[in-house]
Structure 1
């Protein structure tokens, strides 16, 4: 494992993307517990977009078409949700 981390800094990008992407669930859980209702805070979508974009760059580096398509399609959904939220508050 140490050899991989020393040879490929892109592995750190992959771990960062996974951390960002996973943290969105913690944010959503905390927000829902505070509201005593299921809520989806805006930061959930920003973390989704940041984590998805970071993971997409890692997937491109890995040249993994399944991972690339999955993350690429997710980015469209996350960006669309942010656009809808912005339109509703404007």
Structure 2
């Protein structure tokens, strides 16, 4: 029974993180008065997806596993693109400082 309770907690934690990303995006957009996806959205997506994927694997649910696996890849790729853009912007700023 304790094992089942643990996995239910993992599932609910994943769902909470996954839902929290929408609240974060909505509140941040309201604050900025335009639609914006903050960096935290992608991290919450990644955490929520990882927890839900673990839960889906435990449940042996192939539909849930495929769905969360795809999302997990998308969230990692978005974070890579954001990091790459940030590094490019940093190098450009440093280049201007040297001129």
TM interval, shorter chain, is: over 0.9
Of 37, 40, 51 in structure 1, the residue corresponding to residue 37 of structure 2 is: 40
Q: In the alignment, what sits opposite 1:60?
A: 57
Q: TM-score, normalised by structure 2?
A: 0.84
Q: CA deviation at 1:34?
A: 0.6
2-structure distance, mates of 1:50, 1:15: 12
Q: Which has the larger radius of gyration?
A: 2
Are 2:18 and 1:25 aligned? no
Q: CA deviation at 1:7?
A: 5.7
RMSD: 1.1
Q: TM-score, normalised by structure 1?
A: 0.92
Q: In the alignment, what sits opposite 2:9?
A: 12
SS in 1 for 2:37: coil
Q: In the alignment, what sits opposite 2:46?
A: 49
2-structure distance, mates of 1:51, 1:15: 9
Of 77, 83, 88 in structure 1, the residue corresponding to residue 74 of structure 2 is: 77
Q: How many residues align?
A: 86
Over residues 42-86 of structure 1, what are the superposed CA-to-partner deviations in whole Å (9 max), with x where a residue is unaligned?
A: 000000000000000000000000000000000010000000000
Unpaired segments of 5 or more residues in structure 1? none
